[in-house]
Chains A and B, each alone.
Chain A
Amino acid sequence: MDDPTTANLHAADPDSVLLSVRHLKKAYGEHTVLSDVSFDVPKGKVVVLLGPSGSGKSTLIRCLNGLESIQGGEIVFGGVPVDTSSEKEWRRLRTSIGMVFQSYDLFPNLTVADNIRLAPLKVQKRPKAEVERQMDALLGDVRLSQYKDALPRELSGGQKQRIAIVRALAMNPRLMLFDEVTASLDPEMVREVLELMLRLARRHMTMIVVTHEMEFARRVADTVMFLDEGRILERGSAHDFFTSPATDRAKGFLESMAPVSDE
């Protein structure tokens, strides 16, 4: 395979399901954050999660790689049910699930190269030469090769986020989770990050994306899910959701997100 970002990607059967979530429930004590959430993510497809703040989007995405414990429901990944209570099982799975966060989460004490190499070498224990080759290819792909030996603080926010994406990709994940990755970026940096994500989508990377960028969501999503108060209120194609939302909540949400007109 020529394309480093899709190595190990099983795109053979585009309709088969990579991730399946059933009746997922998440609560902090008495306070229910997610109730009875069910959905499937087909291989090679992009699911975008939309919803007002506090609707549970970020919590949901964090439940999908075990960063949050869940109080009920099932998760099936790659056809295999996940023992969601086992931290050990999650650790194994997390090398197959890449995640990028809102806050710049590069390790500030490590160079760009060391950030990228760390998990493949120390967690996956892959051979050094192979990891180096892949890293060089990935850095070249995002045109950041010249920053290989730089420290994160020398990078702009957009560059940091692209490196964070590369760091996740270096584990050859089968699924990528993006948690509002452009939310703390300056506007001029948002574009370079979103473009990289669009490229990944075109290469059939399976992705779940939480975002507030509506135009991007419309372009990248195969499926849009609208969350409100911990439930999936609507789901469907991007076109259907943006042109004719079914519920008043979704209508209101879309209006609130619409760009303010100058006139």
Chain B
Amino acid sequence: MDPSALPDALSLASATSRGVGVLVAGDNVTRLLEGLWTSLSIAGLALLIGVPLGVILGALRITRNPIVRGVLRVYLEFFRIIPTLVVLFLAYYILPAEFNVQVSGPTVAVVAFGLWVSAETSDTVRGGLVSVPDHQIDAGKALGMNDVQLLWHVRLPQSINLMIPATINLATRVIKTTSLLLLISVIDVVTVGQQIMEANRMTHPDAAFWVYGFIFLLYFIVCWPLARLAQTLEKRAKERNNG
């Protein structure tokens, strides 16, 4: 009998109670957490590469050289316009073809996400750097500072408290985007979930509801505290800037 054909209260209740069993059966939870760890480490590596690169690019975006500024603006706009999923496919298909090497799925993901992170970070950093009031820059110049000293001693310290919350928000976006990894054959938390459902298809036809629900919850547990932290820091930064 197909349980999805005609759900009455009884069959629904019994079906759901069976489905939840899949989660606790065997080492399924451990396997899902391992999958999540894969996703999170890819996100972490992408941020580790992308954020420092983005800081450099962001600093370059306030130079006087219009060509440098233009090129970096186009770089940013490319990532703003092309969906991250498409960027992922571009890296997945183009990296191996161009460099003629086998590139693993996680490597593709780290490269694609890393470049995306660097583009977004460059805009955050640029925005922070130009938010420092002109008279502060004048004060630095009047003390004989060169551009690098102005950046390091005046602009960065006065805008970093605006950049940090934005970067944490970006981190949650990257983490959420790791859910797309299954599309380039990385064994992430979603793939593990699908394997579990597949293995239990006969005994637990309603596993999908519970497994996807559980993954949904996992992502929320990771992202929500980060989002709250970013919110708190942002509020504090604004208060300090106004005071």
Contact B141 A124 (CB under 8 A): no
CB pair B135–A103 under 8 Å, yes or no, is yes
Bound-state Cα–Cα, A123 to B145, Å: 6
**Using Cβ atoms and an 8 Å threshold, which residues of chain A touch B141?**
66-67, 91, 94
Is B41 engaged at the interface, CB distance under 8 Å to the other chain?
A: no
Within 8 A of B (CB), among A85-114: 91-92, 94-95, 97-99, 101, 103, 105-110
- B143 near A101 with CB under 8 A, answer no
Using a CB-CB cutoff of 8 Å, which residues 141-155 of chain B contact chain A? 141-146, 149, 153-154
Chain B interface category by residue count: 10 to 19
Find chain A residues with CB under 8 A from B3 CB: none
Name the residue of chain B whose CB is nearest to the CB of A123: B144
Interface hits, B189-243 → A, CB 8 Å: 243
Q: Please tell me if the beta carbons of A95 and B143 are within 8 angstroms of each other in the complex.
A: yes
Q: Output the least CB separation between B212 and chain A (Å).
A: 46
Q: Which residues of A contact B243 (CB under 8 A)?
A: 153
- Pick from B133, B136, B139, B143: contact of A171, CB below 8 A: B143
Are A119 and B158 in contact (CB-based, < 8 A)?
A: no
Expressed in whole angstroms, the minimum distance between the Cβ of A164 and any Cβ of chain B is 8
**Complex alpha-carbon distance, A238 and B154, angstroms:** 39
**A107:B153 contact, CB within 8 angstroms:** yes
Q: For the complex, is A168 an interface residue (Cβ under 8 Å from B)?
A: yes
- A162, CB-defined interface residue at 8 Å: no
**Known contacts A123-B149, A153-B243; A105 and B144 CB within 8 A of each other:** no
B157 on interface, CB distance cutoff 8 Å: yes
Contact yes or no, A99 B154, CB < 8 A:
no
Known: A94-B142, A105-B138, A168-B143. 6 other contacts (CB 8 A): A65-B142, A99-B139, A107-B136, A107-B140, A107-B158, A119-B144
Which chain A residues have a beta carbon within 8 Å of chain B's beta carbons?
A: 62, 65-67, 91-92, 94-95, 97-99, 101, 103, 105-110, 118-119, 122-124, 153, 164, 167-168, 171
A-B contact pairs, 23 of them (CB 8 A): A65-B142, A66-B141, A67-B138, A94-B142, A94-B143, A94-B144, A95-B143, A98-B142, A99-B142, A101-B139, A105-B138, A106-B139, A107-B136, A107-B157, A108-B158, A109-B157, A109-B158, A110-B157, A118-B143, A119-B145, A122-B153, A171-B143, A171-B144
